[in-house]
């Protein structure tokens, strides 16, 4: 068995791509549209997985945009996506600078949570050992849900 991708539905392609590509740093590796099915599929790879995503079609995040409007709710029944980063503090700061709310700050130097524009929870994990606790993260409160 081999992991291929996780699919999440998005309500606004441009908003989703701004979040996942411009703020999270992912790369679009494939896109397809189905006139008959009235949907667009966009496959994204994390920065360390771009080559594997292109050559092996995995591991990827599939964004599904249904052309006919649909209400998706809060997305909590989905659970979350998880990504490992080299420096959780720098990554969270980059997200905050881009206007993303850090719902669960990395107080422990190990884990944080944010939400996509479509309310998908995303876990950010520190690669390797946890970083030493540091401000402003150590005293930053939770915001909303994740």
What residues act catalytically? 123
**Angstrom distance (rounded) from CA 125 to CA 143:** 18
- Per DSSP, the chain holds a count of helices (H) and strands (E) of 3, 8
User: How crowded is residue 68: how many other Cβ atoms within 10 Å of its Cβ?
Assistant: 6
Which residues are CB-neighbours of 141 under 8 A, at least 6 positions away? 105
Residues 6+ apart with CB under 8 A from 52: 45, 58, 59
């Amino acid at each position: 068995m081999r992991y291929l991708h996780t699919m999440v539905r998005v309500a606004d392609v441009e908003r989703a791509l701004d979040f996942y590509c411009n703020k999270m740093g992912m790369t679009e590796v494939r896109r397809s549209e189905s006139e008959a099915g009235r949907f667009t599929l966009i496959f994204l790879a994390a920065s360390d997985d771009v080559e594997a995503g292109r050559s092996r079609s995995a591991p990827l995040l599939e964004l599904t945009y249904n052309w006919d409007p649909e209400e998706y709710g809060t997305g909590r029944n989905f659970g979350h996506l998880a990504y490992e980063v080299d420096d959780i503090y720098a990554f969270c700061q980059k997200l905050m600078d881009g206007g993303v709310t850090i719902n669960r700050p990395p107080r422990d130097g190990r884990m944080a949570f944010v939400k996509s524009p479509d309310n998908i929870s995303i876990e950010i994990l520190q690669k390797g050992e946890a970083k030493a606790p540091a401000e402003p993260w150590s005293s930053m409160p939770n915001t909303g849900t994740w």
